[in-house]
Structure 1
Amino acid sequence: MSKVKEKLNKKSIVVIVVICVILLSLTIYLRYSYSVSNNFKSAIYPGVSIENIAMGGKTKEEAKNILVEKYDKPLEKGSIDIKVKEQVYSLPYADINIKYNIDEVINSAFEYGKDLNFYSQYKIIKKPKEMNYNLSLSYDKEVVQGFLENADKTLNKEIVDATIAKVGENFQVASEKVKEEIDITQAFEEITKKIENRETEVSLETTIKVTNPKIMADDLKKIDTVISSFSTKFNPNERSINIQIASKAASGVVVMPGDTYSFNELVGDTTPDKGYREAPVIVNNKLEPGYGGGVCQVSTTLHNAVVRAGIIPTERMHHSMPVSYVPKGMDAMISYNIVDYKFKNTLNFPIYIHSYVLNNELIFSIYSNSTLKNKTYDLVSDIYKEIPQNIKYIKDNKLKKGQEVVDNIGSNGYKVKVYLVTYENGESNKRLLYNDYYEPVDKIIKKNI
């Protein structure tokens, strides 16, 4: 029994020794692991990179110095330069507070693995995994937007039509002004892309959007000759003053292809403050005094010039009674806000309307391109029925016995066909334009029977 006990005691001693050795070794290993882990308490773990720059073993301050030197310092002298036409405008990076998120990324890199126990930390130190962190840029986009808007303000914002004026026998054309705008959206996108590509110098030539006015000088320069003309005569009196005022208002007008001309919109109301005088006008089939009497002769003369340019009016009405200054069916009455005279320029070129008064004669000329002169036009009226007027007597006891006074001269009635005749290459073509009817107006005679 003693021998058995002795053997057991020896085995126990061996086991205890082995356990002690293991515990001692484990203690030493753990203490070593802790020591290794503790060495990186203030440093970034191995295998960690920022922008592919190895930062293992670096403190936050050391990592920051490296990144600031490589990334932040080049931005200090950086700028955005844009060329607007021939002018260059600059915006320093400092003004948009552009910077990399260096501190944020360093903190992330530094914190990697720091939340693990010391043994797990020891393992990623001894067998590191590659970890890379990237920087990102931030900047004040509103400042960039404002920079582009301010540069845009230097461009011309006033849009002005080209103008044409007849000087003697020639024309003078003043150039148009176009509206210019920076394509701010496109420029902003290009700047953003360049900044995000980490360019320390952003340079670009802006795209200018141009808005042309409706009337361009090149179009007006195509006006080079008279393509039609028409004149009417008048007697020098109050009516002639109205004709001169209205014809001046209607002169010097450009009508572009496709545009519509309105006599009433251009000439306006015939009010005394504009200088118009009282003169006979047709009211209710009777001549009565009214401001602007004679203006219908202006619209009529214009009408005849326009039609002889090959342009057919879109709005035209004849008088209720025939007028003396043009053949029947060739007149065009107007009454402000009631009856207008309108036409649309159906030619391929702009037209210029010019009128003047000379020796009691009103002349309207239509100018356009000389290529239009291969065709000429004329108006022909055909009175195919005349209807005699009736005579009516009205008793007026204020008159002397047997005395007669014409209260309204009235007029005969007429049915008139008006043809547009086109001449081209020695041939002519006649087309019915209007079939006008002037109703007969009774002659009214006051008499004391």
Structure 2
Amino acid sequence: MVDEQEVRQWLSLGTESRSFEVKGPGLRTQKAYAAKVARAVMAMGNLRGGGLVCLGIDDKQLAQMSPGLNAEQLKQWSDVDEVNVALSRYIEPPADVRVHLMELQAGVHVVVLEVHEFFDVPHLCRQDFPGEVQRAHLYVRPRGKAESTTVPTATDMRELIDLAVEKGLGEFLRRAQGAGLGLPGGQSPTHELTSIADTAYQSEYEQAWASPSDALKRMQVSAAYFDVAIRPRPYLGDRFESGQLEKLVNDLTVRLRGWPLPFVDDVNSNPPKRYGQWVGQETIIRNYSPGSTWNSDRDREAWRLWCSGQFLHRRVLISDERPDIPEAQASLPGATGTVVGWDVLLYLVEVAEFASRLAAVTGCDGVDIEVGMHNVQGRQLVSGDDHRVDVQRMMSANTLHGKTMASRPELVTQTRRVGVRLAQTLLKQFGLQVPDGFLMDWQDEVLQ
């Protein structure tokens, strides 16, 4: 449920986003204004995760949080039944909307419409209003644009279709479980079993990193790096045969940004190595491309995959791989380096995608994902993207830890939301406070 703090966070960014839209003041009984609001609600309802429509804030005065609704406007938009009637004139099937009255600052009142994503089929416009909406049209929030419009591209249409398909899959899983078919994902392990699994997985983790190469040792001393563990539930030490592991890691490889996670080099002189119950590789990338300024001494990652299905990954932060990125430079006095916000977000969305594929292959109940970030003391958190509000924080701790748990159905149907949730566990430790929806919009713009 949305609260005033979340709305203030959105407005303080000074810009609308894919899942946050503002409308200046207006009466519900003004037909043109009501149609304009209905278009925004329709588009938010067709967006994965839904979104917020804030009534009473001018789009040129977001950060100032003004002007607000007057008494009559507030009264009209506070009548939940009448609001639903006004919106349903244009939206089929009716949108799932929650109405919230808020006072953002002294004397500034707004109404926030919290719009949930459609239940089973996308929302369609049911009647015309000249200049605002057209009957039988689909309205969406397109990638890269903070506006409510008819479907502009095949990519946006495909995203809407994918969401509808996932809705159908989710409903199938719910019905199957309700019918007692015993699909995994709904059972919670006992404390005793969880403790045994944690001990077994930790033992594997320690063995996997017990004898790193000289290159990996240098990375762990000289660079800031991610340290990820993906652990299927429940623990089964023989989930896979050892001979399957190398093919399995290739089949699960994620390429949302082109560069693979993990990087499996089976061509050059450093092929994956087999250690009985696990397989792994440490990679140094040199001469990545002609004229590249990449720091070849630090372009390193390492991965491990166990017969239990546990996947381990260590990877240098982009600010150490690419110290030349202009937007990734430290600006705070005394900062020893940077942590780039988009690197944390996109990497952990890719991690969640790998976890989703692993869960689908294993048929496990769910997955625990743990992430560490090492050697970050004195580093400044920066956006790393010149199109975003600057988010600068400095870290005093040297190591950060985050963790999330997800059932297999959630991983299948809400993969990127799981990744955002995991990213928040680290970003919040820098003091960054942004809504999940902001991060969802950000990764959507990049991972098209």
Which TM-score band applies after superposition, normalised by the shorter structure?
under 0.3
Look at both structures and tell me which one has the larger radius of gyration over its CA atoms.
1
Query: What TM-score results when the alignment is normalised by the length of structure 2?
Result: 0.20
Instruction: Say which structure is richer in strand.
Output: 1
Instruction: Say which structure is richer in helix.
Output: 2
Q: Which has the higher contact order (CA 8 A, sep 6+)?
A: 2
Query: What TM-score results when the alignment is normalised by the length of structure 1?
Result: 0.20
